[in-house]
Structure 1
C-alpha cells in the first residue's frame, strides 16, 4: 500500500494517513485516446483470432444453429483498447484535504501539500521518458493500474489475451450473465433509475451496444443465449491460469443448461462445485417462489486448483451441527444434552461434544492399524477398517480422557470448542440482503457472494476479471481484498456507476505481511521473531490473518506432552500447545487508525466502441454480403427519418428542416442536401449540408468526424456537416473545432431508431435527431492567480439560426478536470459529483476531523476548487450525464 509521508510509525498523531494499494506487477503499454494516431497500422488493423471448436466432445448440449457454428472455428477480431481516463482516488482525497488545511494553515499546505498530487501521478505510468518509446505500444511495460473497459466482453477478452499477453494470467473470472429471457434482466437506462420493470418498453435499454448485445443474445431465445455464452466461456478459458477458477452466477431458469455447456467447454472433470446462495426475496411466482441463485464453479485444471478454505463460526443462533448432542459437565459427568443446552444454555464449565469415528478406511501394509483396544472392561476391534492412529496414540487419547464407548463402538470425543468454526459448504443461506439495500444497479449482487468466491480462489495481488461489470461489485470486492482487477461492460450507465463507486470507496486498512507492522503482529501471534529484512509493502506476500486453534485426533495422538495422571487443566494446556491452527483468510488484522481508498485505475474503451456479432464478419474479418445489405438498409432507414424529422434541439421551434436530402455514395458521407437558414438578421439563406451516419451498434469516434470533414471540404464544399450517431466518443467535441468555415454538428440519434417499429411508433418524429450539446464552461482567474472552472450547463446549437444557447446542469451526473492536461492522457485531478447521492459519505466520516463540511460540499458543486495554472498551458474538462454519455473540452490557458 502506498504510504503517507508521515511514515508507518506516526499514525497516532497528526493527519489520518490515507493509503491505497500499489501493485508491483506490470501491464502492457497500451495507447490512450489522445495518442491513437501513433498506433502502428499493423496493431490498429484487427486480425482474426481463431478458437477451435471440438465437436467430438461427449456428452454435448445441442441447440438450434450449433451445428452450423461448429463447422468453423470461432473467429474474433483482435482490436486495440484505448485509455480514456487515468484516475487515482488517493490524489483526489489528498487534494481536498490539502485545500481544507490550506484554509486553516497556509504554511502547512505550502510545505507538505503542494507536491503531493504531482508525486502520486508521477509514478502512475512508469513509462520511459522518451516519447518514441512511450508511443511504441505493446512493446514496453508500465505500472499496473486496475482497469474498467467499455466494450463487448468477447472483443475485450480476446484483446487482453492476444494483444496484451494476459493469456494464462487471470486467476479468477466471475461472470454474471443475464439470468432469463426478459427485457429487465441486465439493463438500466440511467444512473438515477434502478426500478426497471420486465417487459416495459420505456425501461428497455436504448444504448446501441446493449441493443446489439440484447438482440444477439435473445433473437432465437435460449438458443442464441447459449451460443452467446459459449463463445465468451471459450475465450475466458484461455485467460485462466492453470490454478485458476471461473464462477458463473445464474438463476434456476437456466442453471442446468449452463452447467452442461460448461462441461463441454471446461471438461466435466474440472467441475468443482455447484453453490446455492440465498437471495433477498423469492420472485412472485405462480407456483413455488425461488429463494436462491447459483454459482457454477469450474477450474482450469482441478488437479492444480488454488483453493483457500473458508470457515463459518459455530453459532448457537445459527444452530450447531446436530452431532454435538452430548454434554460433559464440570465434574466430568457425561450425558445427552437437553434441548435448552443444545441451543446454548450450557451450565458453567460444561462442554458440548460429539462422538467422532476412531477408525479409518485406509488399510496399512501388514494391517498395523488392526489391533484390540481394552476400554471399560470391553475389547473393541475396528472391523474391516483400521484404527486411525497407532497404539501410543490410543494411549494418549485415553490419558487425555478423549475416548468413550457406546454399545457397539469406541469413539473419539470431539468438543465443540476444539474448533470454533466449521468448513464453508456449498449452501450459503446467509447471503440474502434486504430488498434493494445499498444497491445502485438493478441487478447488483451482494458483496458476500463475490467475496467468498474470490477469497477461496485467489491471493492478494492475483488478477480477477469480471466480463459483466454491472455496478462494479466484483471490482469493489477485489479492491477491498488487494486483488488486481479488470472489468468490462457494454453499458455506459453501468460503468458510470462503477466509476463513481470505486472513486469514492473507503476500505479497511489490512496489515500487510511485508510491512514493519505486519512483522510485529506476526511475531506477537507466533511468539517468534522473524529474521530481519527490509520490508517493501509487497501486497503479493499477503496480509496478516487471524488464526483459530484446531484440535484434531492426530494432534492429540501425536502430542508428546500428554502423560498418564495429568490433571484436566494440564491436559488442556498440553493440547493447546500442540494444536494445529487454521488461517481465516476472510479475517485479516486491521489498523483502524488508517484510511484506505481505491488504488489507481483507468477507464478504457474499444474505439470505435462496437459490439461483435458472430454473423458480421467472415474468417478474414471482411464484411459479408448479408451484412452489407443490412448496413444499406440501416442507412436508408436513417435518411428516411432524417428527411421527415429534421434536426432539433431541446426547444420545439428550433428545428432544421431539409429542403432536400439525397443519398450520396461517398466513403464517409451518406447524403447531401440543402436547408434554409433564417439567419440572425432575418434574411433567409440556402445552405449546403452533408450527412455522415455512424455505426448501427457503436460509437462515433474522432476518426469518423475527421475523415467525413475532409471529404466534405473537397470539391464544391459544404456549409454544414451533420454527423449522426447513437453515441459519441468524448473526444469528438475537440475534433469538431478543427475545420475552419465548415460547421460540424454532432447529432444524437434517438436510440429508438435501433429498437424496431413498435418503439419507433411510440416515439414519433418529434425528437429523433437531437443536436449534441457541449458543456458551457467559464474559467476565472482569481487575484492570487489561481484558476476556477464553473459548469454553467450544456451548450445547445440552434439549427435554425446557427446560434448557441445554454441549458441547465440538471442532467450532469459528474464532471472531471485535468488541471494540467498534456495532450497525451486525461488524468482526473479534480472530480465533482453533481448528480450523485453524496458518494463520499463514508470517507467524510472517516476524515471529519481534518476536512470540514465546506470542503466536502465542494465535491458536489458546479464550481471547482481553485487550482494553479497548468505548466502545460492547457486544462481539459470532461462532463458525463446520467445516461453515461461523455464529452471532453480542452482549454488553452
Structure 2
C-alpha cells in the first residue's frame, strides 16, 4: 500500500511528505538466503526436473514420433515401379489424410527432454529509493524502507521455509534455472499473471549483449563481444546450430514459463519478421493454437539502406494460458488520435441546425454521424413495423428489421436522435457519445523508444499496453529477458509486482540505476485501506448506444414535461406567422433564390429554407419545421415567438442529453488513472539477487527417478511430462574443466598488481581425492626468479576455482576459509567473476591465512572456445585489489563520510588490471548500517550527472539540490554509525562487475 512518512514510510493525500512508493502488503515471498550468510543455513535440496514429450499424445503441432513421414518419398517412388501391397497402401493413405502441421528442427526428435536445476537464489542487495532520498533530506532511515523482514538470526537462516513481506526482484542468472527455481522452490507455479519475453531477434552481437554499461553502439566485432562466460554460454546455447538451437532454447523457456502462469494469465513474445513465423509455431506447440489471442503489429522507425521493401514493423505474439479464463481489460484510444473521428463530419449547431461538412465549428457545436437503425432480419416480430416521423412514413428495406421496437424508436425520435432526411431514418451518433475506440492489433502510434539506456531497449509503451490489458494492480509480472529493465519500470509505474531476470551483469546494473532514479506519478487509490491491490481511481468515458437511449424510460417524464410547453410555443409562433404579409414572404424567397444563384444549390442549407421559405398563410409550422434562427426583416413578434420556441427546445434538449449521459454505460480507462500531483512517487523496495552456481560435484551420474508433478495438468498441459532426477553435474565435464584450470595455473602462475609473478613449484589436484573441503588444488609457490628450498615439502597454497558459468559466491568462500587456515599460508580464489558478498567475506579473512582474489582470463574458459581470439603470452591468472575507500569521522555531530578514491578494474579485453580513479566507475553505493547479511543501499552515486535530474526537480524545496549534486560525486553524504557500527561500500565497474569493502565504524576500525 502507499507508505506513510510518520511510520517510516511516506506519501499520501493530505500528508506532509511529498514522496511515496507503492507497497504490496497483501503479498509475500519465500525467505531467500542473504548471500553473506548463505553458508550458515541449509537450503533444501531439490531434484532436477525433466521436461519431456509424452508418447501418449498425438503429434498435433509437435513432431512425428514414428518417423514414418521420412519413408514417404521412397514409398511414392516405389509406387511408380510396382503395385503397393496392402500395408504400403495403407501407410500412403494415412499420410495423405489431413494432419495437423508441425515445426521440425535439428535435434528436436533426438532430444526428447531437457533438465532444469531449480537453483537457490541469493539476495545480494536491498534497494530503496525512499531510503536514499531520506538520507539526502537529512532524515533517519529504518530497515522497513527496504522491506527487510529484520528477522532474528535463527529465523533468518531457515531458508525457503517461511514467508516474508513482498519485495520486487531483479535477478542475475539463467532465465531457465531462475524460472524453475521460482516454480519449484518458491511455489510461484500458477501465480504469475503476465510474462513478457523479448528474445534476441537474430544472431548479431547487438541482438544479444551489450559489453559495457555506457556503450550502446554495439558492432559485430570481437571488441564488442561480452567477456561474461554466462552470457557467452547463453549465446552459444541460443545460436550453436543457428535457428535450430534458437528454437530449442526458446521452447525450453516457454515450457517453464507456462508452468508459472496462472490460469487467467497471458504471455507476450516480442519478435521481428525474421523469426515471427517460427516463434508462433513454437507458441502453438507449447500453449496450443486454441489459446492464441492476437498477433500485434507494432510500427517502428524504418531501417535505412534495406534492399526491397523497408521493414517498419515488429510483432508481439499474445497467448493465454487458458483463453476461456484469460483476464482481459479493454484499452481504448481517442477517436481523434486513431483517425476514426473523421467519420463524424456532420456538425449540429446549438440551435439545432445542421451545418455543412467542413464548416467551421462554433462553441457548443457537436460532431456527429448518421448510422443505421435497422439490421438483418432475425424474426423479431416486435421490430417489424411502419413508422411515421416528421410527417413521413418509413418502411423497412427487404430482409431487414428495425434495431428496436416502435416504442424505442419513438423515444429515440423524441430525444432528437433520429435523422429523417432521406428514405430511411438514421441514428444521430455524437462523437462524445463514445469518444474512444477499442484498441486493435495495429499499433502504429508508438514509433520506437527515446532515452535508450540499452542496445536493444524495448519501447515501454508496448509493454505498458500488454500489461494494462491483462493485469490488475498488485498482479505479478515476470520478464526473463530483463535488458534495461523496461518491464520492471512499467510494472512499477502501474503498481504491479515484478520479477525480472537477465544473464548479463551489465543489464542488471543498467536496470538497477533506471529503477532507483525513476520518478513516477502518484495514482490515487480506489480504496486506501486496500492499497494498490484495490486498484486505482481511473477516468471514465460514456458509451451511449441506440439501446441505451431506446430503453431509457427516464426520458419519458422529460418528454411529458416539455411537450406541452413546446406545443404552446409553436402555437405562438404560428399565430405570429399569420401576420406576415405576402410581400414580405416574397422578399424572403428572393433572398433564398439569390444565395442559390450566387453560391450554388449545394450551399443552401435546411436552416436557409426554414428562415426564408415561409409556409403559406393558413398552413403554419410543424415542430420539425420551425426555423433555427430569424431574419432581420421578420416582424418583431415573429422573431420573439421563434426565439422563445428555440429556447424551450434548447431547455428540453439539455435535460434530455443530461438524462442520456446519466444513464449511459461508462467505460473505465485503465490507462488514465487520476493523478495526485502533490506527491512524487519513486520505485518501491526491490532486491538484487543472483543464482547460486551449482556445486561442482564429481559424484554419481544422473539417475532418472519415476514419478511426476502432483496434479497432472489437463489436455495441452500434458504436452510436457515433468519428471524428477537426482541433482548433480556431469562428472566428466567438471573434471575436465578443473583439470584444465589446474594445468593452466601450474604452467602460468599468478600475477599480482605490482607486476610481480608467483610461479608454482608444485600444484597437485585434490578435487578427486575425497578430502578437498571445496579446495581444488594445493601446492607451493615462489616469486619469479626464486628457488623453492623444499619443493616436496608440505603444501603452503590452496586454490579454489570458481564455476565455469557464474561467480564465486560468499557461500563458497565461507566453506573453505576455515579448513584452509588449518593447512595453508595462502589461499587463492580464481574465478571469472566474484560477487560482492564473496569479496566482503574474503576481506574479513582469517588471522592465519593470506587470501588472494585472481581473475581468470576469459578466453581460457572452455565456453569461450573459438569465439574469442586466443591471446599470446601468459598472465592467465591476475590478482586484483579492493576498492580504495577512506572513512572520515566521526565529526562533532557523530557523522561519518566515505570517500571513494578509485578501484582496480580488470579489463578482460586487454587482460590488465587498470588502476583507475573514481570517475571511471559506473556506480558506487554505500550501506551506512551494514548488518553483515545483505547490502542495503542507503546512498547511490552515479557519475552520470543527469541520473537524479527528474527527482531533483520534483523535490526542489524538499531535498537540497546540492545533496542531489553530491550523488554524482566521490564523497558520500554524512551518515551516523547506526545499529551495527559498520558501513559497506560497493563499486560497479563499466562491465557490471562489483567489488565490495566493509568498514567498521568507531574506534581504530573507522
Task: Give TM-score, length-normalised by structure 1.
Answer: 0.85
Q: Which residue of 2 aligns with 1:27?
A: 29
CA contact (8 A) 1:677 1:686 kept: no
Matched, 1:195 2:217: yes
CA contact (8 A) 2:10 2:18 kept: no
Structure 1 stretch 597-606 or stretch 767-776: which is displaced more? Answer: 767-776
Q: Which residue of 1 aligns with 2:602?
A: none
Decide whether aligned partners of structure 1 residues 10 and 23 sit closer, same or farther in structure 2, where only a CA change above 3 A counts.
closer
Decide whether aligned partners of structure 1 residues 730 and 554 sit closer, same or farther in structure 2, where only a CA change above 3 A counts.
same
**Partner secondary structure for residue 383 of structure 2:** coil
Taking the TM superposition and a 5 Å limit, the aligned residue runs for 1:548-697 are 548-560=541-553, 561=555, 563=559, 567=650, 568-608=653-693, 619=704, 620-621=725-726, 627-639=730-742, 641-642=744-745, 645-649=748-752, 653-658=755-760, 666=768, 667=772, 668-677=774-783, 689-697=797-805
CA contact (8 A) 1:211 1:697 kept: no
Taking the TM superposition and a 5 Å limit, the aligned residue runs for 1:695-710 are 695-707=803-815, 709=817
Decide whether aligned partners of structure 1 residues 586 and 10 sit closer, same or farther in structure 2, where only a CA change above 3 A counts.
closer
Q: 2:122 aligns with which of 67, 79, 82?
A: 82
User: Per-residue deviation at 1:301?
Assistant: 1.5
CA contact (8 A) 1:677 1:684 kept: no
Q: 2:860 aligns with which of 753, 757, 768?
A: 753
**CA deviation string 1:152-174 (max 9, x = no partner):** 11111111112111111111111
**CA deviation string 1:369-398 (max 9, x = no partner):** 344444563433365454332221111112
**Partner secondary structure for residue 774 of structure 1:** coil
**Partner secondary structure for residue 167 of structure 1:** coil
Q: Work out the CA distance in 2 between the residues paired with 1:8 and 1:793.
A: 35
Matched, 1:401 2:401: no
Q: Which residue of 2 aligns with 1:843?
A: 951
**Partner secondary structure for residue 731 of structure 1:** helix
Q: Work out the CA distance in 2 between the residues paired with 1:843 and 1:469.
A: 24
Q: Work out the CA distance in 2 between the residues paired with 1:691 and 1:136.
A: 31
CA contact (8 A) 2:884 2:901 kept: yes
User: Per-residue deviation at 1:139?
Assistant: 3.0
Q: Which residue of 2 aligns with 1:93?
A: 133
Q: Which residue of 2 aligns with 1:118?
A: 142
CA contact (8 A) 2:47 2:117 kept: yes
Decide whether aligned partners of structure 1 residues 554 and 609 sit closer, same or farther in structure 2, where only a CA change above 3 A counts.
farther
Matched, 1:167 2:209: no
Decide whether aligned partners of structure 1 residues 219 and 711 sit closer, same or farther in structure 2, where only a CA change above 3 A counts.
farther
Decide whether aligned partners of structure 1 residues 222 and 408 sit closer, same or farther in structure 2, where only a CA change above 3 A counts.
farther
Q: Work out the CA distance in 1 between the residues paired with 2:119 and 2:866.
A: 34
Matched, 1:49 2:10: no
**Partner secondary structure for residue 298 of structure 2:** strand
Decide whether aligned partners of structure 1 residues 387 and 763 sit closer, same or farther in structure 2, where only a CA change above 3 A counts.
farther
Higher Cα Rg, which structure: 2
Decide whether aligned partners of structure 1 residues 10 and 477 sit closer, same or farther in structure 2, where only a CA change above 3 A counts.
closer
Decide whether aligned partners of structure 1 residues 658 and 164 sit closer, same or farther in structure 2, where only a CA change above 3 A counts.
same
Q: Which residue of 1 aligns with 2:383?
A: 369
Q: Which residue of 2 aligns with 1:722?
A: 828
Q: Which residue of 2 aligns with 1:487?
A: 500
Q: 1:511 aligns with which of 524, 527, 539?
A: 524
Q: 1:211 aligns with which of 232, 255, 260?
A: 232
Q: Which residue of 2 aligns with 1:62?
A: 104
Q: Which residue of 1 aligns with 2:296?
A: 275
**Partner secondary structure for residue 592 of structure 1:** strand
Q: Which residue of 1 aligns with 2:971?
A: 863
User: Per-residue deviation at 1:188?
Assistant: 0.8
Q: Work out the CA distance in 2 between the residues paired with 1:793 and 1:830.
A: 17
Q: Structure 1: which 5+ residue stretches go unaligned?
A: 99-112, 516-535, 798-803
Q: Which residue of 1 aligns with 2:71?
A: none
Matched, 1:473 2:486: yes
User: Per-residue deviation at 1:211?
Assistant: 0.8
**CA deviation string 1:659-690 (max 9, x = no partner):** 565655554455555543279xx999889544
User: Per-residue deviation at 1:830?
Assistant: 2.4
Q: Work out the CA distance in 2 between the residues paired with 1:9 and 1:496.
A: 28
User: Per-residue deviation at 1:321?
Assistant: 5.1
Q: Work out the CA distance in 2 between the residues paired with 1:270 and 1:443.
A: 29
Q: Which residue of 1 aligns with 2:309?
A: 288
Decide whether aligned partners of structure 1 residues 66 and 497 sit closer, same or farther in structure 2, where only a CA change above 3 A counts.
same
Matched, 1:450 2:463: yes
CA contact (8 A) 2:988 2:995 kept: yes
Q: Which residue of 1 aligns with 2:931?
A: 822
Matched, 1:780 2:888: yes
User: Per-residue deviation at 1:510?
Assistant: 1.1
User: Per-residue deviation at 1:8?
Assistant: 9.9
Matched, 1:885 2:993: yes
Decide whether aligned partners of structure 1 residues 683 and 271 sit closer, same or farther in structure 2, where only a CA change above 3 A counts.
closer
**Partner secondary structure for residue 735 of structure 1:** helix
**Partner secondary structure for residue 539 of structure 2:** strand
Q: Work out the CA distance in 2 between the residues paired with 1:367 and 1:302.
A: 37
**Partner secondary structure for residue 691 of structure 1:** strand
**CA deviation string 1:740-788 (max 9, x = no partner):** 4432222112223336455543643365432232112222223323222
Q: Work out the CA distance in 1 between the residues paired with 2:39 and 2:820.
A: 21
Decide whether aligned partners of structure 1 residues 691 and 4 sit closer, same or farther in structure 2, where only a CA change above 3 A counts.
closer
Q: Work out the CA distance in 2 between the residues paired with 1:35 and 1:660.
A: 34
Q: Work out the CA distance in 1 between the residues paired with 2:420 and 2:744.
A: 88
Q: Which residue of 1 aligns with 2:849?
A: 742
Q: Work out the CA distance in 2 between the residues paired with 1:429 and 1:805.
A: 48
CA contact (8 A) 1:819 1:875 kept: yes
Aligned-pair RMSD on alpha carbons? Answer: 3.3
Q: Work out the CA distance in 2 between the residues paired with 1:810 and 1:621.
A: 49
User: Per-residue deviation at 1:492?
Assistant: 0.8
**CA deviation string 1:233-272 (max 9, x = no partner):** 1111121122111111111111111111111111111111
Q: Work out the CA distance in 1 between the residues paired with 2:255 and 2:758.
A: 49
Q: Which residue of 2 aligns with 1:104?
A: none
Decide whether aligned partners of structure 1 residues 373 and 69 sit closer, same or farther in structure 2, where only a CA change above 3 A counts.
farther
**CA deviation string 1:407-435 (max 9, x = no partner):** 7754322222322221111111111146x
Q: Work out the CA distance in 1 between the residues paired with 2:422 and 2:175.
A: 62
CA contact (8 A) 1:16 1:593 kept: no
Decide whether aligned partners of structure 1 residues 305 and 610 sit closer, same or farther in structure 2, where only a CA change above 3 A counts.
farther
User: Per-residue deviation at 1:837?
Assistant: 4.2
Q: Work out the CA distance in 2 between the residues paired with 1:161 and 1:474.
A: 20
Q: Number of aligned residue pairs: give it.
A: 822
CA contact (8 A) 1:678 1:685 kept: no
Q: Which residue of 2 aligns with 1:732?
A: 838
Taking the TM superposition and a 5 Å limit, the aligned residue runs for 1:320-331 are 320=340, 323-328=343-348
Structure 1 stretch 29-38 or stretch 241-250: which is displaced more? Answer: 29-38
CA contact (8 A) 1:47 1:79 kept: no
CA contact (8 A) 1:361 1:386 kept: yes
Matched, 1:135 2:157: yes
CA contact (8 A) 1:877 1:890 kept: yes
